[in-house]
Amino acid sequence: MKKELVVVIDFGGQYNQLVARRVRECNVYCEIYSYKTDLAKIKAMNPKGIILTGGPNSCYEEGAATCQTELFEMGIPVLGLCYGAQLMNLVLGGKVERAAAREYGKTEVKVDNSSPLFTGVSENTICWMSHNDYISKMAPGFRAVAVTDNCPVAAAECAEKNLYSIQFHPEVLHTVEGSKMLYNFVRNICGCSGDWRMDSFVEEQVKAIREKVGSGRVLCALSGGVDSSVAAVLLSKAVGEQLTCVFVDHGLLRKNEGDEVEEVFGPKGSYELNFIRVNAQERFYEKLAGVDEPERKRKIIGEEFIRVFEEEAKKIGAVDFLVQGTIYPDVVESGLGGESAVIKSHHNVGGLPDYVDFKEIIEPLRDLFKDEVRKVGLELGIPEHLVFRQPFPGPGLGIRIIGEVTAEKVKIVQDADAIYREEIANAGLDKSINQYFAALTNMRSVGVMGDERTYDYAVALRAVNTVDFMTADAAQLPWEVLQKVTSRIINEVGHVNRVLYDCTSKPPGTIELE
Ligand code: XMP
């Protein structure tokens, strides 16, 4: 059976991936192509519908991204969003001009429910606007089907040709009924049956990887994190033992984590692949000796990681492909460029080993958001504790030990963190808090245990709730849980005589302490 496809044409807007994601949520497969893609190529794919995205420019400017009139004459339903809406209108003979007032943010919109685009949508609904230009004259054959106070054509249709345009952004969650509008387009107007599922993603990727790799050899750096684990299993499913996974244990993992990763992916695990574990703990501790500055530690850990990986790769010899577990937010973040200040350098984004001999990179998860990666992980049968693992930074405990990292401090923070995690799970809070961990402060203070004076470390407990990890609130943990964790840490972990809870939100704090 031929798969139903919706093509999203990318004009450079910031929400383009979200458009694709909302379409996938309607159980419709979709692919994103640049506006520069040859129209004949798009036609040959025989899409059930086309969506034109937003973009940063004004469509009437010289050299602005554009499209051909034929795009609207192929008999395929087209939906233009924001820039795409204006462009459709302009190309078909309407007019777009700079608005007197820029319209931005949450806006009330009045929709005409008789348009198939708005079936089931409330007559007055909230949408997310973000535009400088507006459609001042509609192209012949179009009628306005939504308005706002400032925007006479918030949506327009030429139902007879199945052409629709929306000035606002239905793909963002601020547009309260936006998903319904996109559903109406892909399921009702384009007539997609909605039989696409995440398991189809797995099937398609496996097929595509097999075609690409042929009999080639593939190398993957496995960290045990969600993304690299899912990428590795996908590859293993596609090419089996043509895949080698190198797992570098840098000695900065959480308690027992190295063994847990080996259990799942190693020879006794359930996947077909060559698994190499490199126990490089000592190397990392040596490099980190005497270093206490956070960015310096990150840099050392990142570089050493790459060196170890390269050495292993050299032993394997030339490979054809290198797998990266890049997911969509990584693509966006690393594409942000130099405008925003570097608060913390995340070594695992964008860095590539220089001396690994490979021909091409494979990034099977590049188009997915985190929760979609998790869904794929479950489809692939990866154990839940790996799939729902909370984020763990590449430099690991190296940045959860304030000041110099030593083997002794790693052990303290591992033990304290394991107790904390266990008690959070016992209290049934492990699924509801987005990130929580113990860190070792560099503070030593006086205490008394038994009849003895102690002079030991303070452990800091952190727990935050966050949607996007850009801002976060300290979680309000029940006092009993904090007390239990405190007493267990002090009784069970050597060299700790105080436990502190970090109540700082982000900003002004960050999630990690370094
Ligand atoms: P911050 O501490 O910047 O953390 O508020 C935001 C998210 O990023 C993680 N984080 C890192 N991840 N390498 C990583 O791979 C790093 O150097 C790093 N620093 C912070 C942090 O755990 C949180 O999820």
pLDDT in tens, the chain (514 residues): 457 999 999 998 888 888 999 999 999 988 888 999 999 999 999 999 999 999 988 999 999 999 999 999 999 999 999 999 999 999 999 999 999 888 888 999 999 999 999 999 999 999 999 888 999 999 999 999 999 998 999 999 999 999 999 999 999 988 999 999 999 999 999 999 999 888 889 999 999 999 999 999 999 999 989 999 999 999 999 999 999 999 999 999 999 999 999 999 999 998 999 999 999 999 999 999 999 999 999 999 999 998 999 899 889 888 999 998 988 777 655 443 333 344 555 544 445 556 667 888 999 998 888 889 999 999 999 999 889 989 899 999 999 999 999 999 999 999 999 999 999 999 999 989 999 999 999 999 999 988 899 999 999 999 999 877 888 899 999 999 999 999 999 999 999 999 999 999 999 999 999 9
Which of 296, 344, 397 to probe ligand 1 with, by most ligand atoms within 8 A of CB?
A: 344
Q: State whether residue 1 is helix, strand or coil.
A: coil
User: Which residue, chain included where needed, has tokens 């054809």?
Assistant: 320
Bridge partners (DSSP) of residue 126 are 108
Dihedrals φ, ψ of 34, to 5°? -65, 155
User: Which residue, chain included where needed, has tokens 């909370």?
Assistant: 390
Q: Is the CB of 464 under 6 A from ligand 1?
A: no
Residue 229 to residue 263: CA distance in whole angstroms: 13
Taking the centre of ligand 1 as the mean of its atom positions, its distance from the CA of residue 232, in whole angstroms, is 22
Determine the atom of ligand 1 nearest the C-alpha atom of 343. 3
Residue 387 to residue 262: CA distance in whole angstroms: 15
Question: Which region holds residue 255: left if phi is over 0, alpha if psi is between -120 and 50, else beta?
Answer: beta
Element (H, E) at 105: strand 95-111
Determine the atom of ligand 1 nearest the C-alpha atom of 345. 17
Determine the atom of ligand 1 nearest the C-alpha atom of 391. 24
Dihedrals φ, ψ of 139, to 5°? -65, 150
Q: Is the CB of 404 under 6 A from ligand 1?
A: no
Distances (CA, A) of 497 to 441, 448, 491: 12, 8, 9
Taking the centre of ligand 1 as the mean of its atom positions, its distance from the CA of residue 370, in whole angstroms, is 15
Q: Could you tell me how many residues make up the chain?
A: 514
User: Which residue, chain included where needed, has tokens 């007390």?
Assistant: 483
Residue 498 to residue 488: CA distance in whole angstroms: 11
Q: Using an 8 Å Cβ cutoff, are 491 and 415 in contact?
A: no
Q: Is 486 exposed, middle or buried (0-12, 13-18, 19+ CB in 10 A)?
A: buried
Amino acid at 187: R
Asked about 171 being catalytic, the answer comes back as yes
Q: Is the CB of 502 under 6 A from ligand 1?
A: no
Asked about 169 being catalytic, the answer comes back as yes
Q: Using an 8 Å Cβ cutoff, are 96 and 59 in contact?
A: yes
- What is the 3-class SS of 35-51, one letter each residue? CCCCHHHHHHCCCCEEE
Q: Using an 8 Å Cβ cutoff, are 463 and 424 in contact?
A: yes
Taking the centre of ligand 1 as the mean of its atom positions, its distance from the CA of residue 346, in whole angstroms, is 7
396: number of CA atoms within 13 Å, CB side?
A: 25
User: Which residue, chain included where needed, has tokens 């009993």?
Assistant: 480
Single out the residue of 380, 372, 421, 458 nearest to residue 27, CA to CA.
Answer: 372
Which of 343, 390, 469 to probe ligand 1 with, by most ligand atoms within 8 A of CB?
A: 469
Q: Is the CB of 394 under 6 A from ligand 1?
A: yes
Residue 140 to residue 490: CA distance in whole angstroms: 76
Cβ partners under 8 Å of residue 91, min gap 6:
66, 67, 68, 69, 71, 72, 139
From the candidates 4, 103, 157, 171, which is the catalytic residue? Answer: 171
Q: What is the pTM of this model?
A: 0.77
Taking the centre of ligand 1 as the mean of its atom positions, its distance from the CA of residue 347, in whole angstroms, is 10
**Beta strands per DSSP E along 250-332:** 274-279, 321-323
> DSSP characters for 169-200?
-TTSTTSTTHHHHHHIIIIIIS-------HHH
Bridge partners (DSSP) of residue 439 are 460
In sequence order, which ranges of 328-401 are alpha helices (DSSP H)? 328-334, 370-379, 384-387
